[in-house]
Amino acid sequence: MEIREKIVELAKSGLKPCQISKELRVSHGCVSKLLTKWRKTGTVKPEKIGGSRPKKVLPSVARAITVYKHYRPRLQSWQIKEYLIKDGVCTDGNVPSISSINKLDYIYIPVSLIEIINRTDVAEKLN
């Protein structure tokens, strides 16, 4: 049994946090914090550490961004972000960040891709 589960079991059996901390040799603060979390959420699983992982831009989204930039080179990244949502390429939940859109400025776009882009329906929406 994991230490977290032991803490909860001992608390259920009626032991006080200070007694649990002595018996399991963990700090009183650790026991109190864990029991508070358990009472609020019903779980003792550890939470993730750190921030969000950077999202990768899907090829279809990158292609749409390339189309927007090809036909309207002066579009700002925030405008491209709005177009991606408006045109149904992305939703609010999966639209790339402005910094991700800016990074696509540095990607080399082969001529054959530009030819493919010229035939897409996204180009028609921008003209």
100: domain CATH number? 1.10.10.10
Where on the phi/psi map is residue 58: left (φ > 0), alpha (ψ -120 to 50), or beta? beta
What the block records as the tokens of 11 is 């608390």
Could you tell me where the beta strands, DSSP code E, fall in 1-121? none
Query: What is the span of the domain harbouring residue 113?
Result: 59-126
pLDDT at 92: 86
Number of domains in the chain: 2
The answer as to whether 106 is a domain residue is yes
Residue-wise pLDDT tens for the chain (127 aa)? 689 999 999 999 999 999 999 999 999 999 999 999 999 888 888 877 766 666 678 888 888 888 888 888 888 999 999 999 999 999 988 899 888 888 876 555 554 555 555 655 555 665 5
Contact assessment for residue 81 and residue 96, using Cβ atoms and an 8 Å cutoff: yes
pLDDT at 126: 58
Q: Are residues 36 and 64 in the same domain?
A: no
Q: Are residues 117 and 76 in the same domain?
A: yes
pTM given for the model: 0.46
The answer as to whether 47 is a domain residue is no
Q: Are residues 68 and 122 in the same domain?
A: yes
The answer as to whether 49 is a domain residue is no
Contact assessment for residue 30 and residue 80, using Cβ atoms and an 8 Å cutoff: no
DSSP 107: S
Q: How far apart, in whole angstroms, are the C-alpha atoms of residue 71 and residue 34?
A: 56
pLDDT at 102: 85
